[in-house]
A and B are shown apart, each in its own frame.
Chain A
Amino acid sequence: MFLSDLKREFYDVILGKRVLIFVNFDVDAIASCRILQYLLLCDSISYSIVPVQSQNDLISAYKESCEQSNHIILINCGGTLDIVETLEPSEEKIFYIADSHRPYDVCNIYNDGQVCILGKVNEKEDIPTYEDIFGNDDDDDEDEGSNPSDGEANGDDDDEEEVRESKSKRQKLDPAEMVMRRREKRLWHEKRKEILFNYMQFSFYSSSTALLMFELAWKLSRDSNDLLWWAIIGVNEQQLLGKVESKTSVLDNGKLQSHMIRLAHLSQHGGESTGTKDALYITHEKDLNLSMYRHWSLLESLKYSPQTASHFQLWTLKGEKKLNEFLAELGLPLSQCRQKFNSMDIELRNDLRAIFQKKVEKYDLEDLVEYSFNSQYGFRPKNSASDYVYALIALLDSAEKDKDPADAFHDALECLSNSKMDAVYKGIELAKLQQMAIGKEVHTCLDMGHVISAGPCLYAVIQDGTPDAKYYGYPHSLLMLGQFLLKAHISRARGRGLRARELPLIISAPSASRPSHCLLLGLPPLSLDSPKNLIGKAFEQAAENTQTEITSVFFDSSVIEINSECRTNFLDSLFSLLE
């Protein structure tokens, strides 16, 4: 069931009650959680938050803590699972799902009251109609009973008598009609299967949950610059990790920008003379699309940003020369570029964007200068939203043997409170190390020819014991590595590139949190230009075929964790599936 009026149907219902919140491990979820926390604090709604990483986590955490409350909010998790079947909740529990993962499970969509999905129905998602999925279930005795959903149970009670009557009548029908009916039903089942397959085939993301939460705050008139900044971070993560189509992100950015202007206007004319010292300023301006360059040196940032690195092919000698040539043409002295950005000449720093802007066309790097959101606390240095996202990802993915993943979650959550700039800087330092490790790994993979074309797809396996593996043995970081690698590989393979562009990439790396396990991640082909991903389904099928146990299933189905020993077998089966 979709709830489109969030204030009336969701917020007013939980007002004054206790809620239980499960939050997935991703930046968008953390940003939404932060916004929700603020709202709940304003209204003194007592809550408990439990971070969950995988489906198994969700199930066990639910079992442990379900007694606390009847109102359960799932942030960026659970939408793709059949909640009623997976968690087996008692009847008085009500689930509210705010999830950007798609497609939603059909049972959640057509559930009547117990499972509520926050947000509007998106026409483009082609959700199958009720009739197609549960339609003629009135004679489901002979069905396999495959869908014991609540939807069919209600409303049918009154008709039960009738049904029984009609059934007894039906048995007396003549054989020709019986055959026709059976045939009809078989056809309907086949059609249902096909519709479901088409619907569930691709996994993808819709627009950010943080934005949804921000709009709720807006409707409650509790929006402020801080909340907007959190929403911006949520949206920015999706763009940075390429989770959404460019169309969605343009729309989202437009929404954020109009909120930004409205809030700026309010604070100017509201007569609120908040001191400039602690105020948060948000600006939307053209900025260099380089990773964390404000906290790094320009040269390093150019070197480790996926886009420039693969454009200039910086892992080769020739590439480095080309980069130097580029910098020379821009008129940026190398000695300045090697310095920390903060220590560069002030004139260069102020004009940096204009300097780049002039030459990007010549070097075919148009996407190097793009609009981005930047924020500034009082007189402190400016940060862009992507800096925050990198920092948050690095903190989230910093769990090690002695560090609980939940600690990493809290570190990341702490980053999003206004006064904790130190936490952000710590995250950024970590993110730099991570970017460097990823850059180096891409370099090695290309040099050693680790990216192998297996016919239907490309694959790359990072062996156990690679020194920097702890930096990318997590879902998010591995995704960044995969995207970087795919981009770099394609930019290199000029002649055969046309073919490589149409292939998905499967990448595997040792899991950093669990020894002797490895992560597998699938990326859609670059040529498709859309982040819809069918690898998740293929993983599922391959695991079934080879009887491999998937040790953790993340909410994004294109990442799984399996035992390293089964990997070869699993990959073979996967390749034959993709043929």
Chain B
Amino acid sequence: MFAQKGVELVQELERARDFLPPFNEDGVRQVLEEMRALFEENQRDASSAVAGESEYITSVHIRHCALERNKRCLMAYLYNRLERIKEHRWHFGSVLPSDIKANICEPEAQFFIKYSKSLAAYMKSIGEGSYSLDLTQNLKPPKNLYIQVKCTTEFGEFETEDGDIVVLKKNSLHLLPRVQCELLIAQGILEHVS
């Protein structure tokens, strides 16, 4: 059956909804091969059709439909992968985790770098003066700008962006701006308390 491989590709992507599956190079190649075969046959039949044998026209038509369908499947596959890669940029920032990196192919990696660049350039352009707005922060409106954190290690002094000094002593509780805590929470120095 025509165009089965293409549909399989799309299905494969659809099944892995919440992660990016490895780029299926083999599948893509098979689809392209099928398309080439179809095209060559079509060209042969088309030339004979031009010569006057009108019975080939129907089969040319069917092959052409199959070609179109294959093209659509391939486009859908590639486009949706790019959409996911864009999503990852917003999620993980400009450096992708290694497990995701392993699953993308070279042109996709280049797309990612270019996308990162233009996003960064855009973020720099908004905001006034030397400030730039980090659009990737707070994708949803936060309930509170401040969160309550508990310090789990003796960290010592920590200076916030607005110049306040906070002494992060073990077992002390603090209410701090969310943005500034995130890194420390990721490092395990602070703990979020509800």
Contact = CB atoms under 8 A, between A and B. Distances in A.
Interface string B150-194: 100000010000001111011111111100000000000000011
The size class of the interface chain B forms with chain A is 20 to 34
Interface in A30-80: 37, 40-41, 44-51, 61, 64-65, 67-69
Nearest to B194: A417
Contacts of B176: 46
B146 interface: yes
Nearest to B171: A406
A433 B178 CA distance: 40
A404 interface: yes
Nearest to B147: A41
B165 A49 contact: no
B145 interface: yes
Nearest to A45: B175
Given A41-B148, A44-B145, A67 B167 contact: yes
B148 to A, nearest CB: 7
Given A67-B167, A68-B167, A44 B172 contact: no
Nearest to A65: B167
B167 A64 contact: yes
B166 A48 contact: yes
Nearest to B173: A49
Nearest to B172: A50
B138 interface: no
Most buried by A among B171, B175, B177: B175
A411 to B, nearest CB: 11
Contact of B171 (A37, A69, A410): A410
B118 interface: no
A311 interface: no
A184 interface: no
A419 B173 CA distance: 19
A18 interface: yes
Interface string A114-128: 000000000000000
B144 interface: yes
Given A41-B148, A417-B194, A68 B166 contact: yes
A567 B165 CA distance: 44
Per DSSP, are chain B's interface residues mostly helix, strand or loop, or mixed? Answer: strand
Contact of B175 (A46, A67, A68): A46
A407 interface: yes
B45 to A, nearest CB: 70
Contacts of B148: 37, 41
Contact of A41 (B144, B164, B170): B144
A44 B173 contact: no
A165 to B, nearest CB: 49
B174 A46 contact: yes
Contact of A410 (B146, B150, B157, B165): B150
A406 B170 contact: yes
B172 A49 contact: yes
Nearest to A405: B171
B164 A18 contact: yes
A68 B157 CA distance: 9
B177 A46 contact: yes
A406 B151 CA distance: 11
Given A44-B146, A48-B166, A68-B165, A404 B177 contact: no
Given A37-B148, A67-B165, A410-B150, A48 B170 contact: no
B146 A48 contact: no
Interface string A190-233: 00000000000000000000000000000000000000000000
Most buried by A among B144, B174, B194: B174
A48 B158 CA distance: 12
A547 B113 CA distance: 74
A65 to B, nearest CB: 4
Contacts of B193: 410, 414
Contacts of B170: 404, 406
Contacts of A406: 170-172
Contacts of A67: 157, 165, 167
B144 A48 contact: no
A413 B171 CA distance: 12
A36 B130 CA distance: 37
Interface in A409-446: 409-410, 413-414, 417, 419
Contacts of B150: 410
B171 A51 contact: yes
B76 to A, nearest CB: 44
A65 B168 CA distance: 9
B146 A49 contact: no
Contact of A46 (B146, B169, B194): B146
Nearest to A40: B175
Interface of B: 144-146, 148, 150, 157, 164-167, 169-177, 193-194
11 contacts: A41-B175, A48-B166, A49-B172, A49-B173, A68-B165, A69-B164, A406-B172, A410-B150, A413-B173, A417-B194, A419-B194
Lowest 6 CB-CB distances: which A-B pairs, in order? Answer: A406-B171, A49-B173, A65-B167, A48-B174, A47-B175, A50-B172
Given A41-B175, A50-B172, 20 more contacts: A37-B148, A44-B144, A44-B145, A44-B146, A46-B146, A46-B177, A48-B172, A48-B173, A48-B174, A51-B171, A64-B167, A65-B167, A65-B169, A65-B172, A67-B157, A68-B165, A68-B167, A404-B171, A406-B171, A410-B193
